[in-house]
Amino acid sequence: MLVRRFVNQKVFLEVLRPASSFNLSCHRKYSVKKTPSAITLMDHLKQRIKATGPITVASYMKEALTNPVWGYYMKTDVFGKEGDFTTSPEISQIFGELIAIWLVLQWSEMNKPTPFQLVELGPGRGTLMSDIVRVFQQFKGNIDDKFSIHFVEVSEKMKQMQRHNLKVSEKKDMIENTNIKVNWHSKIQDVPKGLSLYIAHEFFDALPVHLFQKKEGHWREILVNLSSSQQVLEFVTAPGASPLAMSMNLPEDVDQCEICPEAGVVMACISQNIAEHGGCSLIVDYGVQRSDRFSLRGFKNHELVSDVLEAPGHCDLTTNVDFGFLKQHSHSDVTCHGPVTQKTFLMQMGIRERLQALLRNANERQAQNLLSSYDYLTSNQKMGEKFKVMAVTKHKPKDPLAGFHS
C-alpha cells in the first residue's frame, strides 16, 4: 500500500507542466501601493487603558493586527520583498505545487468525492491558492473544477488583492474561464458545513495569545499598561489570578506559558466538520510541540523589532504555534499527524525531484533562483526546521500519511 501511494505521488508530480510554464523567480514580484502609516493607534490604546485599565496581550495583538482602522493587516500589503515578512508561497511556486499534490492525494484516498470545499484560512495575497488551482486544473476531468473556494479573511484590502491575483470576476465571484466559485468569510464559523479540505499556512501564529508568568507558585497574567510617564506602553504582571488562568489548567512544570483560546476554537470547528462531513486539514506554521516560554515577537522590514509595544499597527506580531494545544482541541473522531518539520514534509513530497525537473529547462539565472528558493524552504537555518507541518484526517490510514512517514 505504501509503495502504491509513493507511485501515485510520482504520477501526480509528473502531471505538472514543464518549467517553461512556470514563474521561476526566487521572490515573486507584485506591484505594491503604499498607504499612509497608521499614526493614531497608540493614542487609541492609551485612551482605552486610561479608561478601563491594563489590557491583555491578546487584546493588544488584536488591536495591533486587525483593528478595522489602524490594524497592521488592514491597511497595506505586508508580504514579500516590499513588505515586512516573506512566506513560503511567495518564495517559490514549488511549495504551492507540493501542497496541491498532497491535497490531490488525500482527495484520491477519499475516493474522489465531489463536490467539495477548498478552505484557506488567512490566504494572504492568494498566492498559495493560485498555485493550488493551477495544479488542480492540470487534472482535466478529475479534480480540476469540482470544488468551491472559501477564504477566511478579515482584511478588505487583502480580499481585493486575492480577487485580483486569482482573477475572480466581480459579477459572479468565479475564477475566469473556470466553474470555480470563490467565497469570502470573516470567520471560520461562517464557512458552510460539508466535506472540506482545509489549508492554514501561517494563520495560527498571528492569532492573539495570553501570556502567563508563574509568580510565587501561582500563575499571573502579563498585561499591557501605560508607563508611569503615561507616554509609552509596558508589560506588567497582574496582581492576582485571572479567571482565564484559573480555567485553562495551565501546566505545572513550566514558569512561562502562552495560551491562544482562539486557536482552540478554530481547531475545534475544523476538526468537528472533518469528523462529521469528511475531509482533511494541513497546517504549516512556526511552532513547537508545547509552549513553555514566551515567543511573542515583531517583524518590520524583515527584521526583528526590539520592542513589540513601541509602534502598534506598524509591524507584524507573531508567536510560536503550540501544536500540542491544537491537538488537545481536536475532535475525538479525527486523527492528527505530526507535526514534522517543513523540510521533512517537502522532502517526502518530492521537492528534490520537482527541483531537478525544473532545472532541466532553466537558464542560468532561473537555476540560481530555483536553488536559492529550495535552500530557503528546506535549510535547517532558514524555514526547513523552524516551520512545522501537521495534518488532520477523518480516519487513521493503514499506512503513514504522505509527508509524515517516520
Determine the pLDDT at residue 79. 54
pLDDT at 36: 43
- Would you state the pLDDT for residue 21? 47
The confidence band for 134, taking pLDDT boundaries of 50, 70 and 90, is: very high
Listed ranges 35-39, 79-83, 244-248, 327-331; the one with the highest mean pLDDT: 327-331
3-class secondary-structure state, position 147: strand
Peptide bond into 339 cis (omega under 30): yes
Distance of alpha carbon 406 from alpha carbon 404, whole angstroms: 6
Peptide bond before residue 115 is cis, with ω within 30 degrees of 0? yes
Percentage of the chain beyond pLDDT 70 is 87
Residue 161 makes CB contacts below 8 A (sequence gap 6+) with: 77, 125, 126
Residue type, 270: I
pLDDT of residue 87: 66
Predicted TM-score (pTM) of the model is 0.88
Cα separation values, 125 from 32, 207, 268, Å: 11, 18, 26
Distance CA 397, CA 399 (A): 5
Identify the structural domains of the chain with CATH numbers, from first to last.
43-393 (3.40.50.12710)
- Phi, psi of 112, deg, nearest 5: 55, 55
Mean of all residue pLDDT scores within the chain: 88
**Residues 184, 151: contact at Cβ < 8 Å?**
yes
Q: Which of 244-258, 264-278, 301-315 has the lowest mean pLDDT?
A: 244-258
Please give the pLDDT value at position 140: 75
Task: Give yes or no for a contact between 84 and 64, defined as CB atoms under 8 angstroms apart.
Answer: no
Q: What pLDDT is stored for residue 363 in this prediction?
A: 92
- Sequential DSSP letters for 240-292: S--HHHHHTT--SS-SEEEE-HHHHHHHHHHHHHHHHH-EEEEEEEEEESS--
pLDDT score for 78: 59
At residue 27, does pLDDT exceed 60? no
Q: Which of 175, 201, 10, 184 is nearest to 87 (CA)?
A: 201
Distance CA 83, CA 96 (A): 20
Tens digits of residue pLDDT in 171-229:
899 999 999 999 999 999 999 999 999 999 999 999 999 999 998 888 999 999 999 88
- In angstroms, the first-to-last Cα distance of the chain is 16
Question: Looking at 92-106, 290-304, 327-341, which range is the least confident one?
Answer: 290-304
Asked whether residue 147 carries a pLDDT value surpassing 70, the answer given is yes
> Does residue 344 register a pLDDT over 50?
yes
Q: How confident is the model at residue 32 (pLDDT cuts 50, 70, 90)?
A: very low
Predicted confidence at residue 85, as pLDDT, reads 47
